[in-house]
Structure 1
Amino acid sequence: MVKNRKYLFLSVFLCGMTVLAVEFTASRMLQTVYGTSNIVWANVIGLTLLFLTMGYFIGGWLADRYPRPLLFYGLITAAGFSSIFFLLLTSLILRTTTLTLTQFNAGAIIGSFAGVFMAIAVPVTLLGCISPFAIRLGVPDVEHAGRISGRIYAISTWGSLLGTYLPVLWIIPVAGSRITAVIFGAVLLVVGLIGIWQEAESVRPKAAAAVACLLLIPFVVAWTPGGIKQTPGQVFETESPYNYIEVIKNRSCYYLFLNEGAAIHSFYCDDGSLPPQTSVYRTLTIAPLFAHPEDFQNHPVQNVAIVGLGAGTIAKLMTRVYGEMRFDGIELDPKIVDVGRKYFDMNEPELNVHVGDGRYKLNKLAGGYDVVVIDAYKPPYIPWHLTTVEYFEEVKSKLNESGSIAINVYRPGRDRRLVNAMVATLMRVFPSIYTIDARGDNTIIVATVKPTRHENVQQNFDALVTDDTEIIPSAMEVFHAGLKPLEPSDVIFTDQVAPVEPLIDSMVLRQLRL
């Protein structure tokens, strides 16, 4: 029996908190290289459950064989030590080998599996030992077994609830993932050391635990400082509740990368140049040209909504092509907005920034848009609630009678399953749909409120009065080369059933097998 049952319950609470904190900290470290795809999260969640299961078996066996409070608190101390050591080691490896890992074939599956295994195998297994061991120490007799075990699992779950929100919403964005690992590991070290000092009869176990903690200090000092990535040309990086954010400068241009850095999410060049890898953004600017020629001439583009504003690239390009206009830009991550204003000159007086979810915020706006641009996905995933019939009906209600919608959609190579499903879904709402393959793994889908023809694009381009001589001409080249016939699939995305993630998962796996 333990000397202090209340302290036993407190230990269980803090261990439950740390299990989830370790899981989320490991996932945040991995997303800088492998992103936040379902495959990566499956590895994180699956291995966490596996190691907890192992811990439950081991903890139950140890508790029956060696029901000693000193061993219990020794396990907590070891969990704290290992969580700091292995999370920092994982971060160090990811930081120093980022470029190699991102070029490794099948990295999102095999690489993230190895990273998760390294980061959490030991600490999560040790933490899994705590609850069964605590039940063994906390139950005075069989008559109280149900009540005490229920209380211990409830306390552990309460701790896990705190461990779910605290690191994600506060500690990681403020202090970073490595400091988060040190904080939660240190909590376990303190809990374990206090428990050992309470239960130990001799000085030897107390001294051994203290020395073990001191041995961790050099690793913390050596591995905690420094940036998250060591990308050439990096001028800024940070972590938010939603993303790892990185700004890279190459010559006169700034590029915004998120998480694993698989795609450019915004760009800005001091000299106004257009880098060759920005075909997607240029192609999105031709959405107004799909209108009827008379509508295009009589109703110039004046009001645009952008779902997935990023650092404001689309607004800048459309202003260069069509002149001054009003924008409502919706961006989920407030830190991206701050980065846009600091590095990407996102300070246009007619750009109204709305921070929040793309669907919720758009429904709150007045509407009357000439164009709604949707570019709100983390490659390769599109948020499923921005792909459904019901959502597109909501978007249509915000467009004027000659308006259009332009969407950036993932298309790896010749695999058009997501594109075709999006086309089939949009056909339930809009009369005319067009697909344009941009350079890279992207297809731009344009849909119009009125029935239109693709010939309208060239007619409106010929009549367009603009000072731009670079954006629209290059976008027109992509349009003529990339316009594809429609091949709607049998899959229709709705709010009730939208298998977006499984479809993209299968596309990613097929691409990795090629």
Structure 2
Amino acid sequence: MSAGTGVVLGAVFCAGAGTMVVELAAVRLLAPWFGASTGVWTNVIGVILLALAVGYVCGARLSMSGSPDRRLGFALVAGCLLTAVLPLVAGWVAGTFMPAGLALDEAAGLMLWGSLASSLVLFAPVAALLGCGCPLAVEALQVGSGGHAGTAGGRVLGMSTLGSLVGTFGTTHWLLPSCGLKGTFHVAAACLGLAGVVLLLRTRTPRASTVMLVLVALGAASTLMPESGSLAPGSGWEVLDQRQSEYQRLAVLQDVDGGQRRLVANEALDSFQSVWSAQTGLLGGGQYYDYFALPAWWAEPQERWDVLILGMGAGTAVRVLEGALPNGVELCSIGVEIDPVVVELGELYFELQTDGPGRRVLAGLDARAALLGVESPQDLVIVDCYANNMEIPPHLCSVEFFGEALGVLGTGGFLMVNAAGFGFDDPVVDALGRTLAQASGAEVLALRVPFSRNCVLVARVGLPVPRPGALGWDIGGAVGRALLPALEIPSAWKLVEPPPGDMRAPGAQVLTDDRNAMDRLQRASLRAGRQRWVVGA
């Protein structure tokens, strides 16, 4: 293989890697405004595929005249510059389609269309330029070394695919955790720019030196500019820490009095993932975490209370339980959190204990996979699994998943699900309630959390769930006085019965691994919530 052939194939390798870096990091770049749901992923992937197709056609036309390797070099340099500025302009572009200050219900209609428009503006030009690379490279190999078109095309496609593999694994496992979001785009830009400059230098044209100087100047300037979309805390809050993990961008906020901290993940809307208060026990103020303390009071008296928390976050539920269990009851908790950086921030700012007596944290594990390793029967399983504070992964809300979660409970054990929604008729709350009832084969108690967008679903193994007016509901004590009166209002609770018929039939109101419309239900929930607030319901 000649030196010229190696340079061209190396450039194709860089183009393939750069395409995947942009594609995988693109969703993370948009997540603070639009989340990272399947719909957003679909928009990003669709836009990049469309842009690549346009690039292939344009590259084929460009290859018919002039020097294909020089044009390939210019395409890579232009792609380098656009890639470098993506994290700098993303905030302005995304903010245009998702204005700041919107509540979740107000932003419902913009999640999908806004992410599509932002993807077209931000990522289509870069992908189109990189798409030009393959036909130009094939022509460059044909002109430089002759041979069959099939041979040249196969070598180009093979090298491009290898580059895509490196970009795929490198982005997730190395670039994002080590370099952050801005650094990831700059590393990709540097690789594209280096390949482009090498190609231009081989052509020995005066433009090469000029392009190289412009590239160095713009690249250096972009590293000094602040990343767009950095979290701006509201009045009365300050940022203690910001991190970029493999899954999301995280920020720890503290109020100016130092009495409360919040963990904010991948969003610029009006919600948060975890909360910390200086005192353990009930948080008050409509926090759904408080209701996780009720089962320990409803259950028969016992010395030890075993709790499995799926979606632990920074440990808010643990701190609530530590201060709200009946006197003399020892808390033994297992917390499962898929993002290790969340656990690290929990240790630093939320007093999360990961290895103390009666405390165990499984970081980096998916909630459903973690269920397979739970051996001893649990008294309470809490399911609080959300991505971007509002998206429930479909495999963590199916009848099969709830069945597995109920399977780790002992007789009389409780399963509680945080269901974010705007009431019992909310599409998400309704579907989750029916699905949990189907999995348990018994009635499920749905509780509406006052002053909140949350409902809590309660199922029980082998015994009826408590309900207002029934034996075992009244618990007394500070926890009972704080929580039960608001739940005894007729509109604050509801019993959900297992739905009749075949749960796998089309149109059934039960979510399964095979048929799970959670993405659609969540969009419908946000639209319904917006309408509810507009009419003052």
Equivalent residue for 1:40?
Answer: 40
Q: Which amino acid in 1 is paired with 2:63?
A: A
Equivalent residue for 1:124?
Answer: 127
Match of 2:160 among 148, 156, 161: 156
Taking the aligned partners of 1:280 and 1:235, their CA distance within structure 2 comes to 24
Equivalent residue for 1:443?
Answer: 455
Residues 510 and 304 from structure 1, CA distance in 2 versus in 1: closer, same or farther, beyond 3 angstroms? same
Farther off after superposition, 392-401 or 211-220:
211-220
Q: Deviations over 1:187-232 (max 9, x none)?
A: 11111111111122x4x11222123213404631442469832224
Residues 73 and 156 from structure 1, CA distance in 2 versus in 1: closer, same or farther, beyond 3 angstroms? same
Q: Deviations over 1:24-49 (max 9, x none)?
A: 22221211222212232222112111
Q: Give the alignment of 1:90-109 within 5 angstroms.
A: 90-91=90-91, 100=100, 102=102, 105=107, 106-109=109-112
Residues 208 and 369 from structure 1, CA distance in 2 versus in 1: closer, same or farther, beyond 3 angstroms? same
Q: CA deviation at 1:367?
A: 2.8
Equivalent residue for 1:284?
Answer: 292
Q: CA deviation at 1:129?
A: 0.7
Equivalent residue for 1:500?
Answer: 518
The answer as to whether partners of 2:280 and 2:319 remain within 8 angstroms in 1 is: no
The answer as to whether partners of 1:288 and 1:404 remain within 8 angstroms in 2 is: no
Give the secondary-structure state (helix, strand or coil) at the position aligned to 1:235. strand
TM-score, structure 2 normalization: 0.85
Q: Which amino acid in 1 is paired with 2:154?
A: G
Give the secondary-structure state (helix, strand or coil) at the position aligned to 1:335. helix
Q: Which amino acid in 2 is paired with 1:230?
A: A
Q: Deviations over 1:62-88 (max 9, x none)?
A: 112334321111111111111112332
Identity %: 24
Residues 472 and 94 from structure 1, CA distance in 2 versus in 1: closer, same or farther, beyond 3 angstroms? farther
Residues 68 and 227 from structure 1, CA distance in 2 versus in 1: closer, same or farther, beyond 3 angstroms? closer
In angstroms, what is the RMSD of aligned CA positions? 2.9
Farther off after superposition, 427-436 or 5-14:
427-436
Q: CA deviation at 1:342?
A: 0.8
Q: Which amino acid in 2 is paired with 1:422?
A: L
The answer as to whether partners of 1:305 and 1:369 remain within 8 angstroms in 2 is: yes
Residues 457 and 160 from structure 1, CA distance in 2 versus in 1: closer, same or farther, beyond 3 angstroms? farther
Match of 1:432 among 421, 443, 452: 443
Give the secondary-structure state (helix, strand or coil) at the position aligned to 1:364. coil
Taking the aligned partners of 2:470 and 2:322, their CA distance within structure 1 comes to 20
Q: Deviations over 1:389-428 (max 9, x none)?
A: 3222222221111111000113245653232322332233
Match of 1:189 among 193, 200, 206: 193
The answer as to whether partners of 2:83 and 2:185 remain within 8 angstroms in 1 is: yes
Equivalent residue for 2:505?
Answer: none
Match of 2:398 among 378, 388, 399: 388
Q: Which amino acid in 2 is paired with 1:182?
A: H
Alignment partner of 1:360 is 2:363: no
Residues 92 and 185 from structure 1, CA distance in 2 versus in 1: closer, same or farther, beyond 3 angstroms? farther
The answer as to whether partners of 1:432 and 1:449 remain within 8 angstroms in 2 is: no
Taking the aligned partners of 1:97 and 1:410, their CA distance within structure 2 comes to 24
Q: CA deviation at 1:159?
A: 1.1
Q: CA deviation at 1:113?
A: 3.0
Q: CA deviation at 1:274?
A: 5.8
Farther off after superposition, 128-137 or 415-424:
415-424
The answer as to whether partners of 1:247 and 1:255 remain within 8 angstroms in 2 is: yes
Structure with more of its chain in helix, by fraction = 1
The answer as to whether partners of 1:388 and 1:498 remain within 8 angstroms in 2 is: yes
The answer as to whether partners of 2:250 and 2:266 remain within 8 angstroms in 1 is: yes
Q: Give the alignment of 1:2-151 within 5 angstroms.
A: 4-91=4-91, 100=100, 102=102, 105=107, 106-139=109-142, 144-151=148-155
Equivalent residue for 1:256?
Answer: 263
Q: Give the alignment of 1:296-375 within 5 angstroms.
A: 296-299=299-302, 302-322=305-325, 323-347=329-353, 349-355=357-363, 356-375=365-384
Taking the aligned partners of 1:383 and 1:121, their CA distance within structure 2 comes to 28
Alignment partner of 1:269 is 2:280: no
Residues 429 and 415 from structure 1, CA distance in 2 versus in 1: closer, same or farther, beyond 3 angstroms? closer
Taking the aligned partners of 1:486 and 1:220, their CA distance within structure 2 comes to 55
Residues 339 and 461 from structure 1, CA distance in 2 versus in 1: closer, same or farther, beyond 3 angstroms? farther
Give the secondary-structure state (helix, strand or coil) at the position aligned to 1:376. coil
TM-score, structure 1 normalization: 0.89
Q: Which amino acid in 2 is paired with 1:391?
A: F
Equivalent residue for 1:171?
Answer: 175
Farther off after superposition, 371-380 or 454-463:
454-463
Residues 455 and 409 from structure 1, CA distance in 2 versus in 1: closer, same or farther, beyond 3 angstroms? closer
Give the secondary-structure state (helix, strand or coil) at the position aligned to 1:42. helix
Number of residue pairs matched by the alignment: 502
Taking the aligned partners of 1:19 and 1:369, their CA distance within structure 2 comes to 46
Equivalent residue for 2:502?
Answer: none
The answer as to whether partners of 2:71 and 2:136 remain within 8 angstroms in 1 is: no
Alignment partner of 1:237 is 2:239: no
Q: CA deviation at 1:92?
A: 6.5
Q: Which amino acid in 2 is paired with 1:190?
A: L
Q: Which amino acid in 2 is paired with 1:501?
A: D
Q: CA deviation at 1:166?
A: 1.0
Structure 1 segments unaligned to the other structure (5+ residues)? 291-295
Taking the aligned partners of 1:299 and 1:159, their CA distance within structure 2 comes to 59
Taking the aligned partners of 2:262 and 2:461, their CA distance within structure 1 comes to 34
Structure 2 segments unaligned to the other structure (5+ residues)? 500-507
The answer as to whether partners of 2:251 and 2:265 remain within 8 angstroms in 1 is: yes
Equivalent residue for 1:293?
Answer: none
Q: CA deviation at 1:260?
A: 0.7
Q: Deviations over 1:51-109 (max 9, x none)?
A: 11211111111112334321111111111111112332225766999982655744423
Q: Which amino acid in 2 is paired with 1:73?
A: G
